Structure 1
Amino acid sequence: MEDTRVEQVRERYAAAALTVLNRSEQASCCGDGCCDTTAETLDESGAGLYGPGYTDELPEAAVLASLGCGNPLVVADLNVGERVLDLGSGGGIDVLLSARRVGPTGFAYGVDMTAEMLELARANAVEAGATNVEFLEGRIEAVPLPDASVDVVISNCVINLSVDKPAVLAEMFRVLVPGGRVGVSDVVAEDHMTTADRAALGDFAGCVSGALTRSEYLEGLAAAGFVDAEVQFTHEAATGLHGAVVRAVKPA
């Protein structure tokens, strides 16, 4: 079952990347590309969540491939000189924005398991002239970076797609320096939503049935070793499901 879900996610995001690479139509998180929650969420996804002017200087393909449910850069409040890791970096929009925010003395990594997305992201980085970025092929359950190598971990509507969320949270903790922080946008369920309730609302690859509840998220972060964790709902994605910001800190 887990392998099937991984392939479903990989295929859906590969198709979304190819759509942008071929310029045949615009990809949207709530369209056929990926996180298709409900029709009512069309204005609550993708590049539209970054605000006017935020993405103006980015390559068009990076903006078109924006498939998230929030703006993790605002959540993480990045500073000049920091090293940032984006889990499930897709077409690279959050990596490129992070690279701009941390400046030439900082660095931004992206990890993605989909070859087509990596191809798109690397092309976008070249077009943007970004030299302080690197896109790595890998699973977010086994990040290809050493221990204590980044100051901040961000992610945009991807952790809900993992088949092993405890492993993802453990990897986030491992790669962060002491005192490092997490700033994530994700789809999160209300605590009363059972596994069956979530499955009834949509499929796993569509960012629905795999969503954690708020309590599950907080418990998972605590189990991984994080402190000062919080999960704040920002907008409704479907009945009982919300776009949310997730913050936590690795003890110094």
Structure 2
Amino acid sequence: MGKKRVVVTGASSGIGAATVRLFREHGWDVVGVARRADRLEALAQETGAAVFTADLTVQADVDALRDYLAASGPVNALVNNAGGAKGLDSVEAAPIDDWAWMYEINVLAVKRVTSALLPLLRASISPAETDASANIVNITSTAGHTAYIGGGGYNAAKFAAHAMTEVLRLELNGEPIRVIEVAPGMVATEEFSLVRFGGDEAKAAATYNNVVNPLVAEDVATAIVGAVELPAHVNIDLLVVKPVAQASTTLIARGPLVPRA
């Protein structure tokens, strides 16, 4: 069998870009998908990955992605990474547009891409290989498992993404398709908090103030690639990845980590 190919959404920065790089280092063919063509082209030049520009909240773009993939080779794995948060407002005060945006990108876009690419994932599985499998990896968040003040819209979207992932695993039972959820905690990336706080750099930076070694994008990429490269009969249903300084969604040590006397 030739090289395997993985599709990574949200590939223009952060966890998505790091995942593209690591899959390429491990010898995979990769298609990175995102809205920003300039960033994708830079990533393609750096890694040798193929790229496809698409807004995953637009069905026509998702259909075009599906058609491109069908014409260009197999799809052995899909990493649904595109997502994001906006604001830390209360449920009462939050702008409804922020909630709609979060639901569109964190839930409906994942559903669109999964529905479009599942036939291609199935087609990649060779009946001659008894240990063959295809893979769907949904990147959610600890916010999809534990609610917190100010997280209402993001919690709601990621709880929905978590539920959708569990339902999909039930629906695909009996097929050699693994459904994996990776739920990161605090990850210091160049854009997540900036987007959440509307470009306010001071607020974004304060999220990580005095936190010793928050996760970086490469840590999450290692978890994603590791889960996909396990033997085909092994499924990681849910992998929660947090820095040691983060005991829970809301309990974060700020300052040096030291043994108690």
Higher helix share: 2
* TM norm structure 2: 0.44
Select the structure of larger CA radius of gyration. 2
